[in-house]
Amino acid sequence: MNNKTTQYYVGNDFIDKRIDLFLKSKMNLNSRSYIKKLINLGCIFLNQKKLASASKKVKEGDIIIITEQLTQKNKIIPEKIDLDIVYEDNDLIVVNKPAGMVVHPGAGNKNGTLVNGLMFKFGNKLSNLGGSERPGIIHRLDKDTSGLIVIAKNNFSHNFLSEQFSKHTIIRKYLAFIWGVIRPLNGNISTLISRDKFNRQTMSVSSSKGKHAVTNYKTLKVFQNKDIPKISLIEFKLETGRTHQIRVHMKYKQTNIIGDKVYGKKRLKFKKINNILEKKIQELKGQMLHAGTLGFAHPKNNKIMKFIIEPPKKFKNLLNFLEKNSN
């Protein structure tokens, strides 16, 4: 594995300052999270001894050596995949991810991911803060969720954008079809979310442990007719970005996103349902959830950028059908 080694000498202008503050200044970082990660990985040495704490005070004459991994532990195979690139500059890329595509390689998904396509198009021109199998990746969308995702081309941008996710200043809005109606029609869901104790591959709302999760929602329209069960079109605005957050919160509200067979019922039974609608729902692969709006401050000029992308064809088809056939 190839590494990049950088050496810093502490002068008299940083005496008795924390080492993470010293390195933040020297490495031109916006936060100290990357430095903490390097410490945890054992990549920072102070006077030839592995650094254990970010709060360590430096003194004049100290020598700090940082070793950053440049190559990937598990080599990703670049693949020629058509990517819907909404925006690109020297610092970042905004991609419209289709439903059905996994964001990065993992167990059972080594090929056909967004990262495989990014590696083919951009090679090593992506940040490496995400680890060996996640070059450029700052956040994720579920496999069957379509919509906007931002990719970092360099470590400065990665760090800058990650900080916005941590501070919950990122603008993220989703559209979804759910069964029934949420009460109240507009509101806020605030809970703890943790791993489900019965199924470790899923998440659930917890009353005592987990990460704080906040989902704002607004009912845009409710569809219903004599042979169409109640279906709501909902706009979600996330304050946090927990794993499966919207899907878990819908289950908590005793409903689920149409097509979600993980957090909803695998087989739905209706006393009466339109045959065409039933067929459309049976043919769905994954949940009807679309990340349509993404906004953030640009790493270089701090200018707010906002992107909006229309839902995919299957989403529009269901919307058109409901508009024509319900009250």
Measure the CA–CA gap between 297 and 6, rounded to whole angstroms: 29
What pairs with residue 230 in β-bridges?
A: none
Phi, psi of 250, rounded to the nearest 5 degrees: -70, -40
Measure the CA–CA gap between 43 and 37, rounded to whole angstroms: 9
Q: Is the peptide bond before 78 cis (omega within 30 degrees of 0)?
A: no
Q: Which of 20, 142, 144, 260 is catalytic?
A: 142
Residues 6 or more apart whose CB falls under 8 angstroms from that of 56 comprise 18, 19, 46
Contact 58, 19 (CB under 8 A): yes
Phi, psi of 76, rounded to the nearest 5 degrees: -90, 135
Following CA atoms 68, 72, 74, 75 in sequence, which dihedral angle do they give, to the nearest 10 degrees?
-170
Measure the CA–CA gap between 85 and 94, rounded to whole angstroms: 6
* Residue 142 is among the residues annotated as catalytic for this protein: yes
Starting at the earlier edge strand, list the strands of the sheet with 44-46. 3-9, 63-69, 44-46, 49-50
Contact 57, 17 (CB under 8 A): yes
Q: Rounded to an integer, what is the distance from CA 13 to the centroid of its chain?
A: 39
Catalytic amino acids? 142
